[in-house]
Structure 1
């Protein structure tokens, strides 16, 4: 017999949780925004194919991902937000590329970048995707072949992709009209910055450490290890609801199956760009409606942008390698989340959360 007769039974609570996993949310973005996002990612890749440098076009496409940080606010605030996001993503990419020659320096850089961008996105309460693509860009950049002579060109291509995304966003804003609500004033979080430092320090240490572990194990292009670790730990740190983690795990597993199918089909460069644009459209269409469905398409999109040059590789080996990366990163992330939820462990590490006044 339940102590509170008005409290739902265990079966009822389980059913309600299951329904929440399947909930379809109303759209908060206009229907044409996914088209804009697809163009921002697709135009650099199409240009690269046209001039016979698909690999260079993909670097510009990664820079075009800055469009995902465009808020639904008036044009001045929108463009400033995009410009700052582009600058931050460029800095992350440049640091990742410049430190990729040394596994220890690369891991330390990724850990520091993760901690800083997590602190900033938490303090300013940035909506999704939050710090995700900052971590992703840094991790992917660190796996590029290190060539000091090519560093300026790589960063330049990334910047060009970000600039064209900002230009498209500006013209899109003029054509779509300025019916956005006023930009909300920044309100600092209830906790002071000092209260955020222990959490972001642990996140940075575990994400950077996960990359170092993956490199020491000899994993090929192990960018998914720190990305998966960061995704799990951010959910724990930001108190995201538990079903978002279920969405990540289930969506990634299905997405890897879709990745295997894409790499098994005989796409040429033009067809591959079309697939990238279609995946980006589906991600932006679904992410505000159902996160789990969006993750299904985020996974192959990320793999394609990072491994487009590996289209001739065995799809079985590629998918198995990425699944190993995801499992390893998720396990490390769960361990890190456990540390975050045990204040005594934080105190043992010398990280104390200030007491609420």
Structure 2
């Protein structure tokens, strides 16, 4: 009897060892593998060109900090879809409005960290629901929420608000102009991809509250991560929320866990690259050239290998957001704070990602929402009859 049990156990152990070995090989391969992408090769050039106009204009006018804000607004060009000209421009204009609105909401409530945390969390729920309802493709709600979170941590000042909002709007307008010119050139050089006409319609899903539940999870974790950053008085609390959001962009549980490893590993290597670049004591011109070059590399790699892209995302985001920071020249403190923010945000993102793909949790939450809605309808009907 013992001999039979031993024989039966061996295949299971062999299978487990083989599957673990295959899984390990797959994960190690994903760190260096460059995936095939159908994205046009000139898209990274367009994104880098948009960033270069904003940065070099600010440098020429002696307002590099303003140029960085314009560059931040110009990130809306990453939402440029592969659609006919009319639909492409409509998408870009709507996304531009979303970027300006996100920045406005964030900076308008930046006078109090706790009020801004609650407002940005509620706004994140709304934005994620709208993006999911209209099925906006990648990067989805990420940059709308990124700019809202960053704005909520900026110094508050009524006199400076209109100027900063205007600079973000200038960046979005620049992106729309470049998109329009690029689309006209593309029409003359090659045929556009045939797409059915885009119509705005309300889509009824089988899982009625699926998008709402997901949006509530995202909003709650944005609020929690931003609140933790403020509670512990971190130097850059928005990085915790941004890291949390980046992890929750995964498409499955395994992808979420994979992103945690990739983001922490990529950030660590990226901080090393940033230290190497800062070692040369960057001048404003060199800083602008570095950001444009990093932008091109990131947009080339982001659809092919996430961990390699994160290596270059880390120094670019530090250059974009930390130039005016007093810790910018103190690389040891800057890197310590940055790594702490990334690890903390990644752990929160892991929990949020687990809930996003926990079907039982989402089902029970949807049932509770439906019950609340039915109770509200019954109370309303009884009041009207009385």
Give the structure-2-normalised TM-score: 0.82
> Does the CA contact (< 8 Å) of 2:81 and 2:91 recur in 1?
yes
Find the counterpart in structure 2 of residue 258 from structure 1.
Answer: 273
Counterpart Cα distance in 2 of 1:343 and 1:32: 40
Q: Secondary structure at the match of 2:155?
A: coil
Counterpart Cα distance in 1 of 2:16 and 2:227: 47
Distance 1:307 1:181, change over 3 A: same
Counterpart Cα distance in 1 of 2:304 and 2:362: 36
Structure with higher Rg: it is 2
> Does the CA contact (< 8 Å) of 1:63 and 1:158 recur in 2?
yes
1:326 to 342, 354, 369: 342
Distance 1:272 1:148, change over 3 A: same
Counterpart Cα distance in 2 of 1:48 and 1:78: 28
Find the counterpart in structure 2 of residue 119 from structure 1.
Answer: 129
Find the counterpart in structure 1 of residue 302 from structure 2.
Answer: 287
What does 1:182-193 align with in structure 2 at a 5 Å threshold? Answer: 182-183=194-195, 188=203, 191-193=206-208
Find the counterpart in structure 1 of residue 61 from structure 2.
Answer: 51
What does 1:341-356 align with in structure 2 at a 5 Å threshold? Answer: 352=368
> Does the CA contact (< 8 Å) of 1:21 and 1:243 recur in 2?
no
RMSD: 2.9
Counterpart Cα distance in 2 of 1:197 and 1:38: 35
Counterpart Cα distance in 1 of 2:246 and 2:323: 23
How many correspondences in the alignment? 354
Structure 1: 5+ residue stretches without partners: none
Structure 2: 5+ residue stretches without partners: 1-9, 371-386
What does 1:1-357 align with in structure 2 at a 5 Å threshold? Answer: 1-2=10-11, 9-10=18-19, 11-177=21-187, 179-183=191-195, 188=203, 191-235=206-250, 240=255, 242-310=257-325, 312-340=328-356, 352=368
Counterpart Cα distance in 2 of 1:189 and 1:243: 32
Tell me how far 1:348 sits from its aligned partner.
Answer: 8.3
Q: Secondary structure at the match of 2:193?
A: coil
Counterpart Cα distance in 2 of 1:336 and 1:162: 30
Counterpart Cα distance in 2 of 1:283 and 1:191: 37
Give the structure-1-normalised TM-score: 0.89
Deviations 1:11-46 (A, max 9, x none): 234323433444322232222221110121121121
